[in-house]
Amino acid sequence: MVHAAAATHSHLLKKDHLKGFLRKLAKEYRLVAPVRNRHSDVLFTVIDDLDAAEIELTEPPQNSLKQFFLPQQERLYTYTTTAEGYDFQPVQATIPPTVYFGVHPCDLSAVLYMDVVFSRHQRDPFYLRRRQGSVLIGVNCNSPAPNCFCNATGSGPFLEMGSDLQLTDLGDRFLVEIGRAPGQALIERWQVFFSPSADKDRAAHYQTFLEARGRFSRQVHVEQAIRQLEADTVPEQVWTELSLRCQDCGGCAYLCPTCTCFTISDQQLDDAGGQRLRSWDACTFAGFTAMAGGHNPVQAKTGAIRQRFTHKLRDDVRQNGRPSCVGCGRCVGICFGGTDIVRFVERACQGSL
């Protein structure tokens, strides 16, 4: 399938031409890409100076695109409490059209999932105004990192659909597939940077895909865990153990590209008013479900851990046909309690393989 798709709509972008192409894009868009900073951390960053930025397309960035569409904290409204009453004022925000360049398949899949979350029941204006006018340029993963398991979640290492343009590193050049109309428009507009792909390029693309698929160091049996959850056969002891070890830090949820639970709270600024904020939240936090007066309908620890994994691996499969874990492995790296999703999958499947 990957091969066939490449054959119909693919171009070549020489690596020597990449900066030139990005320079053109940066004139009309805000440019966000994974950049290695002076501490050697790779982070999705707004690029102001393209010449100074070291774009890193192989090592997975520490953050995902979540913060660009659902900021860790954002102001929804300001409010005033005066003699005339209590009223809310919308915050005027201009979101520049943005090109997200160099997005790995896991993070692209996560954006596609967030699109569903923020428009399934109701269209969320704050998310969608950031998402509208965004262009996604993906790059396939030739060398999955040690914690990666997107092959088990159906979200990588190569992406077949969802981005506007999809790049594959072929050494001295990228094979460029067109995913959506905005991608087609970019190629037409700046065709000077692109050349037609030949059969040998498409063959190299397929070969690269096969090799990438063989480079995963982890075998994570996500499908098996999904079946266990659906059949409700995960031993109670697994939930208890995981919940005892979870330190309630929220690191997994904050780093997770698909954890979109949020809270809404007010911050008083002075006697006459304040602001209403939306902030990231985590279903594993003990207070996530606690009601006024203290009653909590979810058993604080085991119920919360159960919710985290059941939502990602059972409920989202029921709703969307696929898990909302995209196999990026970030929670594996951040969890010091050993309660990340890979450990859960391993524990849930023990004795059933």
Partner 1 sequence: MPQPIADIYLPRQARVEQIVAENSQIATFVLAFCDRSYNDGFRYQPGQFMLVSMPHCGEAPISISSTATRPGNIHLSVRRAGKLTHAMHGLRVSDTLGLRGPYGRPFPMEQLAGRDLLFVAGGIGLAPLRAVVDTCLDQRDRFGALTVLYGSRTPSDIAFQGDLELWRKQGVDCRLTVDAAEPGWDGPVGLVTALLDDLAPELDKSTALICGPPLMFRAVLGKLAAMGFGDHQVLTTMERHMKCGVGICRHCHMDGKLACVDGPVFSLAELRKLKILELDG
* Span from 15-23, 72-80, 103-111, 196-204 in contact with partner 1 (CB under 8 A): 72-80
- Rounded-to-integer distance, Cα 214 and Cα 314, Å: 27
CB of 162 to partner 1, least distance (A): 19
Among 62, 79, 241, 352, binds partner 1 (CB under 8 A): 79
Among 35, 99, 137, 283, binds partner 1 (CB under 8 A): 283
Residue 217 binds partner 1 (CB under 8 A): no
Among 27, 39, 123, 200, binds partner 1 (CB under 8 A): 123
Residue 320 binds partner 1 (CB under 8 A): no
Encoded one letter per residue, x for contact with partner 1 by CB under 8 A and - for no contact, window 224-263 reads ------------------------------------xxxx
CB of 126 to partner 1, least distance (A): 8
Cα dihedral 102→127→97→156 (10° resolution): 20
- Rounded-to-integer distance, Cα 312 and Cα 114, Å: 13
Site for partner 1, rule CB under 8 A: 76-77, 79, 81, 85-88, 90, 117-118, 120-126, 128-129, 132-133, 260-268, 273-274, 276, 278, 281, 283, 288-293, 295, 297-299, 303, 307, 310-311, 314-315, 318
